[in-house]
Structure 1
Amino acid sequence: MTVSRAPGDSVTPATRPSGRWRTLAWQVIGLLVIVAVWWLVTDVLKLYPPYVFPSPHAVWTEVAYGLWGTGPQDGKLLSAIGGSLRRVLIGYAAAVALGGVVGLIMGAWPPVRTSLGAYLTGVQSVPSIAFVPFAILFLGLNERAVLFVVILEGFIPVALAVSGALLTVPPALRIAGRTLGAHGPMLTWRVLLPAAVPNVLTGLRTAWSFAWRALVGGELLIAGSKSLGEQLEVGRNTANVALVLATIIIIGVIGGLFDLLLRTVEARVRRDYGLEVAQ
């Protein structure tokens, strides 16, 4: 016996084409087109000399030497990735903790939100590189200066996201929480904050991008450290454009992978909250 399906019924995941694979296929095609144009400009048409605009093969050679080479000068990119990841994870964790506390305070007390929120929004509009000279003069030319900039750039989006997310909680949940006996900090912690989690995750993803960009900008000024910023500076000082491009690509890949991870978690939470449907 066949069962008829109403026009509005959804198709089961087993019979529905996967949107993820289509998206991935288009992304791979786009990457291949970019590499093909790059190869055409550098290796075929030779519009620029190699020391100005290196070929994909030259950049890949720098990536290979820097990640798994066995020579005395090889493996520098791998150690640089480790140093940068250690700094950004420490700074990002501190920014999330500090921003979460400040955001809760701003969301609970309107006077604090009105005054401090305006200042944080203004500071957020300042490029992170502008804070590097202050950090160096205040903390010295060391790793603490970089962490200061990373924490500052990551803390503000988290604080604003938490504060804003608490304000977007439906009034019905506030009323229900008060009816059940939750008041003051208990209402915020047990009712408002769990309801605001999806919007908070969006702020965490924004904070990551801010912190990652601030890290690389600060590392450019730390001499002798194992960092991706130092590799950019080494490439500039030695006129090694291939190394510069290889480092830029690695920075983009790492930033994109972390953003993809946070985006996946955010999408899963939004589905669990009923704010999105599975694709």
Structure 2
Amino acid sequence: MTTEPRKDTEDLAPAVNRELAGLDALELTVRSRRNPIARLWSAAWPVLAAVGIALALWQLVVLSGWKESWVLPGPADVLPELWNSVTSGSFWGAVGLTMQRAVIGFAVSVLVGTVLGLAVSRFGVLRRAFGSLITGLQTMPSIAWFPLAILLFQLSESAILFVVVLGAAPSIANGLIAGVDYLPPILLRAGKVMGLRGLSQYRHLILPASLPAFVAGLKQGWAFAWRSLMAGELLVQIGTTSSVGRLLSDSRELSDTAAMISVMLVILVIGIVIDQLFGLADRTLRNRWGLNAAD
């Protein structure tokens, strides 16, 4: 009496698996048949339209006469200045120094934020002791740390790194804490049943399952790190070294508004490019987890 239903279930399982495999193959085929040029255009035209609208609004403000042209130059004055900047070697040397500082500061922030987030999320005593403090540090303006940083490290790279880490690490830690908090308890129990303990549990279960929230925390941490770095380069100018923040400060002191706005555009473009890289990582993660619907 009990063998027949079990046999029917066993016979039904391969058929269900074949049907699901067929649906997956159909979805992949539909995606692969899409013209690459059409995909590129569908991704590019909203960006191009947004840039065109922004330039048009900018030009309209200039034409309105709200401010003199030397105070607020239009795109016709700024874009040639931007072209002259990006075609000079000294400009790329400044960008290189800024990106070097950004990568080092963000890497240290990821290390500190990950260790802090894992410790606080898994130990209740640390959560009660430091949970609110981490959130408070996250909401604190980065520029408020610079007087202390300059007193501790003088006008040095360490002062900039200090503020970048304090600005980014709390956001990364909070992202990881949120990811761990939303792990299903049954998943943790299953990991223990499978023998995952200690570091192996973090490596093979907790960190992979927390990746979506962790990536969101990394993205927010980068935003805080980038803002902290720009503030640092404006306030902490080391010798004759040239950076993006230094170029911005020099153009302001020389009242060269066109050059100043061109540097601001470079800062904006770098931020957009990094955001796209984080978006690519997020889409890759979603594809791996099967969360992206067909276009």
TM interval, short-chain normalised: 0.7 to 0.9
Tell me the SS of whatever aligns to 2:95.
Answer: helix
Does the 8 Å CA contact 1:149/1:214 hold for their aligned counterparts? yes
Q: 1:268 aligns with which of 254, 268, 284?
A: 284
Partners of 2:64 and 2:90 in 1: CA distance:
32
Instruction: Quote the residue 1:57 is aligned against.
Output: 76
Instruction: Quote the residue 1:133 is aligned against.
Output: 147
Deviation digits for residues 135-185 of structure 1, max 9, x if unmatched? 111111122111111111111111111122112112221111111122344
Does the 8 Å CA contact 1:271/1:278 hold for their aligned counterparts? no
Q: 2:56 aligns with which of 15, 33, 36?
A: 36
The answer to whether the aligner puts 1:233 opposite 2:249 as a matched pair is yes
Aligned residue type for 1:65:
N
Deviation digits for residues 196-255 of structure 1, max 9, x if unmatched? 112211111111111001000010012333111111111111001111111111001001
Tell me the SS of whatever aligns to 1:220.
Answer: helix
Aligned residue type for 2:279:
R
Partners of 1:278 and 1:269 in 2: CA distance:
15
Instruction: Quote the residue 2:258 is aligned against.
Output: 242
With normalisation by structure 2, the TM-score equals 0.83
Alignment of 1:92-131 (within 5 A): 92-131=106-145
Instruction: Quote the residue 2:4 is aligned against.
Output: none
Label 1:45 to 1:193 Cα distance change in 2 as closer, same or farther (>3 A): closer
Q: 2:194 aligns with which of 175, 180, 192?
A: 180
Does the 8 Å CA contact 1:113/1:163 hold for their aligned counterparts? no
Tell me the SS of whatever aligns to 2:255.
Answer: coil
Instruction: Quote the residue 2:30 is aligned against.
Output: 12
Instruction: State the 1:125 CA deviation.
Output: 0.8
Instruction: State the 1:260 CA deviation.
Output: 0.7
Q: 1:222 aligns with which of 212, 236, 240?
A: 236
Instruction: State the 1:34 CA deviation.
Output: 1.8
Does the 8 Å CA contact 2:113/2:172 hold for their aligned counterparts? yes
Partners of 2:291 and 2:120 in 1: CA distance:
25
Does the 8 Å CA contact 2:137/2:166 hold for their aligned counterparts? no
Instruction: Quote the residue 1:84 is aligned against.
Output: 98
Aligned residue type for 2:172:
V
Does the 8 Å CA contact 1:91/1:150 hold for their aligned counterparts? yes
Does the 8 Å CA contact 1:63/1:77 hold for their aligned counterparts? no
Aligned residue type for 1:186:
S
- Which protein shows a greater Rg? 2
Aligned residue type for 2:293:
V
Instruction: State the 1:47 CA deviation.
Output: 4.6
- Count, aligned residues: 266
Partners of 1:166 and 1:98 in 2: CA distance:
17
Tell me the SS of whatever aligns to 1:189.
Answer: helix
Partners of 1:127 and 1:19 in 2: CA distance:
40
The answer to whether the aligner puts 1:257 opposite 2:273 as a matched pair is yes
Unaligned residue ranges in structure 1 (runs of 5+): 1-5, 70-74
Instruction: Flag as ranges the 4+ runs of structure 1 deviating above 6 A.
Output: 16-20
> Which is richer in helix?
2
